Structures are given as C-alpha cells and as structure tokens.
Amino acid sequence: MNDNIEKHTARPAEAGPMRKGIPSFLFGHAAAGAGLVLVGYLLAYMIRFEALLGQWSTPFVLTVVVSVMVMVLLSVRNEEGTLDFGRAFGLSLLAGFLARLGYNMFMLLLFHAMRPDLVEAYVELVVRKSEEALEALNIGGVSEEWGGMVELFKESTRNSLSWGGQLVDALTSLVWLAFLAAIVSLILKRRLPDDGSFRG
C-alpha cells in the first residue's frame, strides 16, 4: 500500500533543458527585409533599366541583410538574456537568407511575369557591364578569349534568370551569407548585462 502511495506521489523526473526553437519574429523581420530588397530593385527598374546593375545594388542588399541579422539577434538577446554563438549563427544565417530572397523574387517577378521580353536586353546589359569591367582592368581589349566566351556567357546569364537558375543563385548566396552571419554572431553572442543595456 505504501509503495503504491509513493509511486503516485513521487515527483516526475526533471526534464532536461528545453530546446529553443526559431522565434516567430524572425520571419517577420526577414519578410520585411525581403520586401525592402524587392521594392528597392523595383524602384530602380522603374527609374532606369540599367540601374539594375548599378553600383548601389550590392551595398543596398548587404545593408538590408546585415540589418535584419542584427535586429533578429538583438530581439533574441532581449527575450532570452543569453545567446551562444551556435544559436546566433543559425538564426542570423536563416534570417539573412530569407531577406536576400527578395532579390530572387524580384528577378522572377520581372522576367517571368512583368517583362519576359526584357530577358535579352538584360543579357546584353550584363555582357556590356562585364566588358566595361574588363576594360577598366586593361584586359578587355587584349583578351582574345573573351570574344569566344561571349556566347557562353550570354547563355549562362539566360539560364541564371530561369527558376532553376534563381534557385541556384539563392543557394550559392549562403556562402557569403554564412561569412556575414559569423561576424554578426561573434559581435552579438555576448550576455546582456543586468541592466539590460547593449554592450555590443
């Protein structure tokens, strides 16, 4: 009898540490970032088609992606108090990847829904910009190989605008996104002080 009472009154074994999942606000921050990237490229297209390959594009995307990573990690630190590097890296990489998808969404929207007739114009623009870059390095005019590679380069650019090409582009972006996520995570992985202020 006593044994039965002890069995019913015994405390359950203490559970191990709860595994932390992906916070819901990450998807909100990432969606906002993706939307900002998409709108930025859409405005550039509406202003001038050639602006799609302007010098503004890379810094713009980097700024949005890093901002999303930072906002997500600061929100996690504020809620959880601590943030180890592994969790910070995983969350920032996911958030940055989702935010950067705004670029791929724009490319698919423009060349598959809005203006599929501009594919060849875009291909020619990419070739022209590449030739200008080679000339700036003083190798464009003397490189005979470039002339034979133009058609291959054009075909590669056309393929990059397809659904499969944009998927590959999104996946390969994980390389530089991981580098950014590692830097941001190293900076923001520290414990918040007792007063809740940010030490950076």
Query: 145-174, pLDDT tens digit by residue?
Result: 666 688 888 899 999 999 999 999 999 999
Using the predicted structure, report yes or no on whether residue 135 has a pLDDT greater than 80.
no
CB-count exposure of residue 144 (10 Å: 0-12, 13-18, 19+): exposed
Query: 57-106, pLDDT tens digit by residue?
Result: 999 999 999 999 999 999 999 988 889 999 999 999 999 999 999 999 99
What is the structure's pLDDT at 152? Answer: 85
What is the structure's pLDDT at 194? Answer: 52
111 against 195, higher pLDDT: 111
Mean pLDDT of 112-120: 96
Q: Coil, helix or strand for 79?
A: helix
Residue 106's Cα: distance from chain center in Å? 14
- CA dist 76 and 83 (Å) reads 7
183 against 189, higher pLDDT: 183
- CA dist 27 and 68 (Å) reads 10
Res. 193 pLDDT band, cuts 50 70 90: low
Residue 89 in any domain: the answer is: yes
What is the structure's pLDDT at 157? Answer: 93
Residue 181 in any domain: the answer is: yes
Contact in structure between 91 and 72 (CB atoms under 8 Å): yes
Q: Nearest Cα to 150, choosing from 183, 172, 186, 124?
A: 124
Residue 7 in any domain: the answer is: no
Residue 177 structural domain = 23-188
Residue 85 in any domain: the answer is: yes
Give me the number of domains the chain comprises: 1
What is the structure's pLDDT at 140? Answer: 46
| Encoded tokens for 4 | 């039965």
- CA dist 62 and 67 (Å) reads 8
Residue 200 in any domain: the answer is: no
Residue 45 in any domain: the answer is: yes
Residue 79 in any domain: the answer is: yes
Total-model pTM:
0.81
Residue 44 in any domain: the answer is: yes
